[in-house]
């Protein structure tokens, strides 16, 4: 097949998980004989959108240049439509994008289109997180648009007044997502697609009634690049290590839950430390240690030196790459029972789930694992096996993308 990939936010080197996901999907399908081409929106002066040199990619890429002033539905859609029509694809795969994405979908709907959603873009108008006041927001932009518009107006107003808008906010304004008719455009764009891909089961449930072909497709890792780590042999008296990685400065990531669990556990035992990738080293207070920023390789090395990995997220994680990488390193994972983490971590097999925000429950699970090295080893090996079977990029392409292409092929 000739597959045109369209992305309104892509950068390389990657800005985030969506860029990494798309890179490996394109490369994987190209390796299986499909003719691929990536069309990227580049915003002049932006570090968030289109920061890529096409010659640095291992597949064909065209960078379409815009300014913030020209990133409006009419010009954006006409530009992409002309370039993609000229390439004559048999399928158009529309990847990352915010409020402008439904407009572009409808402009390309004369092709067979697959939509990929990486987070809560369709559910939340204030950002892609659907997280407010410390919990998952019960409202939904597709079903309760007026409530969500009012929330977005309140949340985005200071940024808009400052005239220093993020990509999310500038797209929200350019697409007129605040207008009463915008939710109908979003719903119509879903109906126009031949297929929709989301990252976890709860996101699929959210789209019930809006599309009949919604597929749950996880992200992946390279199981050959991330080696399983042997159990770290500790010297006599050396404390066990509990490790949490990721953007832990973000309150959604639940760092305070982990710190409280550490304080609770420290009332019972003193044979452990908690390490976290947080830039604020003043947070270091026994048993907690802020490690500062760590590169990807350094983070994986810390996984290998740890006994247990914790993912204490409070929001509905769309995927949970940190958990998959921990399992690839053959480490047991304690993760909040939310979003993609529910799909990834298998209760009692590769780790434990705990109620989001429940530090006492997390402390009990850590206590169990610290007392049982055989259980830690068994869960770690089980997690590694799951990664090799389900989350290695070759498996993801073969199990999910190739069957989907066969099903929706023209």
Residues 331 and 399 in one domain: no
Q: Answer yes or no: is 227 within a domain.
A: no
Degrees, nearest 5: CA angle 226-218-393 = 40
Q: Give 109's contacts (C-beta < 8 A, 6+ positions apart).
A: 189, 192, 193
Give yes or no: residues 45 and 173 share one domain: yes
Contact residues for 246 (Cβ-Cβ < 8 A; gap 6+): 253, 277, 311, 322
- Cα(320)–Cα(303) distance, rounded to whole angstroms? 15
In terms of Cα–Cα distance, which of 189, 215, 210, 216 is closest to 407? 215
- Specify the pLDDT at position 145: 96
| Residues 382 and 402 occupy one common structural domain | no
Whether 311 and 328 share a structural domain: yes
The answer to whether 294 and 302 are in contact (CB under 8 A) is: yes
Cβ atoms of 91 and 111 closer than 8 Å: yes
Whether 57 maps to a domain, the answer reads: yes
Same domain, 86 and 146: yes
State how far the Cα of 136 lies from the Cα of 138, in Å rounded to an integer.
6
Q: Are residues 203 and 280 located together in one domain of the fold?
A: no
Tell me, what DSSP letter sits at residue 242?
A: E
401 and 324 inside one domain: no
Phi-psi region of 270 (alpha: psi -120 to 50; beta: other; left: phi over 0): alpha
Both 214 and 338 in one domain: the answer is: no
Which sign does the torsion angle of CA 14, 18, 20, 23 carry? negative
**Is residue 231 one of the residues assigned to a domain?**
no
Same domain for 79 and 214, yes or no, is yes
Beta bridge partners of 13: none
Provide φ and ψ at 91, rounded to 5°.
Answer: -155, 140
Strands (E), 127-206: 131-132, 135-136, 195-198
pTM here is 0.94
Tell me how many domains the chain contains: 2
Would you say residue 399 lies in a domain? yes
Instruction: Report the distance separating Cα 115 and Cα 101, nearest Å.
Output: 9
Q: What is the pLDDT of residue 349?
A: 98
Assess whether 312 and 403 both reside in one domain.
no
Q: Is 233 domain-assigned?
A: no
Q: Would you state the pLDDT for residue 163? A: 87
CATH of the domain at 245: 3.40.50.2000
Whether 182 maps to a domain, the answer reads yes
> 167-174 and 145-162 helices cross at what angle (nearest 10)?
120
Domain residue limits at 29: 2-220+393-408
For every one of its 410 residues, what pLDDT tens digit does the chain have, with 9 covering 90 and above?
999 999 999 999 999 999 999 999 999 999 999 999 999 999 999 988 999 999 999 999 999 999 999 999 999 999 999 999 999 999 999 999 999 999 999 999 999 999 999 999 999 999 999 999 999 999 999 999 999 999 999 999 999 999 899 999 999 999 999 999 999 999 999 999 999 999 999 999 999 999 999 999 999 999 999 999 888 888 899 999 999 999 999 999 999 999 999 999 999 999 999 999 999 988 999 999 999 999 999 999 999 999 999 999 999 999 999 999 999 999 999 999 999 999 999 999 999 999 999 999 999 999 999 999 999 999 999 999 999 999 999 999 999 999 999 998 77
Same domain, yes or no: 68 and 16: yes
* 37 within a domain of the structure (yes/no): yes
Q: Quick one: angle between helices 321-328 and 296-304, nearest 10?
A: 50
Q: Same domain for 280 and 194?
A: no
What whole-number distance in Å separates Cα of residue 279 and Cα of residue 247? 10
Report the C-alpha gap between 78 and 70 in whole angstroms. 11
Give me 283's structure tokens.
Answer: 């947070």
The answer to the question of residue 384 being in a domain is yes
Q: How many CA atoms lie within 13 Å of 76's alpha carbon, on the beta-carbon side?
A: 26
């Amino acid at each position: 097949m000739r597959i045109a990939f369209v992305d309104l936010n892509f950068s390389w080197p990657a800005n985030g998980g969506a860029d990494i996901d798309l890179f490996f999907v394109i490369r994987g399908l190209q390796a299986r004989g499909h003719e691929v081409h990536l069309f990227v929106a580049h915003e002049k002066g932006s570090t968030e959108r289109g920061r890529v040199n096409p010659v640095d990619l291992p597949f064909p890429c065209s960078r379409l240049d815009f300014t913030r002033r020209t990133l409006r539905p009419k010009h954006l859609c006409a530009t992409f439509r002309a370039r993609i029509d000229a390439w004559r694809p048999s399928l158009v795969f529309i990847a990352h994008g915010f409020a402008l994405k439904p407009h572009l979908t409808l402009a390309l709907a004369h092709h067979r289109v697959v939509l990929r959603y990486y987070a809560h873009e369709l559910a939340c108008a204030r950002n892609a997180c659907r997280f407010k006041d410390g919990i998952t927001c019960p409202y939904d932009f597709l079903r309760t648009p007026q409530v969500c518009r009012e929330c977005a107006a309140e949340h985005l107003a200071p940024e808009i007044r400052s005239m220093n808008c993020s990509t999310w906010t500038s797209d929200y304004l350019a697409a007129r997502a605040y207008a009463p008719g915008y939710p109908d455009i979003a719903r119509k764009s879903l109906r126009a697609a031949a297929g929709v891909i989301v990252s976890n089961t709860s996101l699929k449930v959210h789209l019930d009634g809006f599309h009949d072909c919604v597929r749950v497709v996880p992200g992946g890792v390279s199981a050959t690049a991330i080696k399983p780590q042997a159990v770290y042999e500790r010297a006599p008296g050396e404390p066990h290590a509990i490790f949490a990685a990721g953007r832990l400065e973000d309150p959604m990531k639940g760092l305070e839950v982990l710190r409280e669990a550490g304080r609770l556990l420290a009332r019972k035992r003193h044979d452990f430390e908690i390490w976290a990738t947080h830039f604020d080293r003043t947070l270091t207070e026994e048993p907690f240690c802020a490690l500062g920023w760590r590169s990807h390789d350094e983070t994986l090395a810390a996984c290998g030196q740890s006994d247990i990995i914790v993912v204490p997220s409070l929001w509905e994680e769309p995927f949970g790459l940190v958990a998959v990488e921990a399992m690839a390193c053959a480490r047991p994972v304690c993760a909040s029972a939310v979003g993609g983490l529910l799909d990834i971590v298998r209760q009692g097999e590769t780790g434990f789930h705990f109620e989001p925000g429940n530090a006492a429950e997390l402390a009990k699970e850590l206590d169990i694992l610290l007392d049982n090295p055989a259980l830690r080893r068994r869960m770690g090996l089980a997690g590694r096996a799951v990664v090799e079977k389900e989350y290695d990029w070759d498996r993801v392409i073969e199990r999910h993308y190739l069957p989907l292409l066969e099903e929706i092929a023209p």
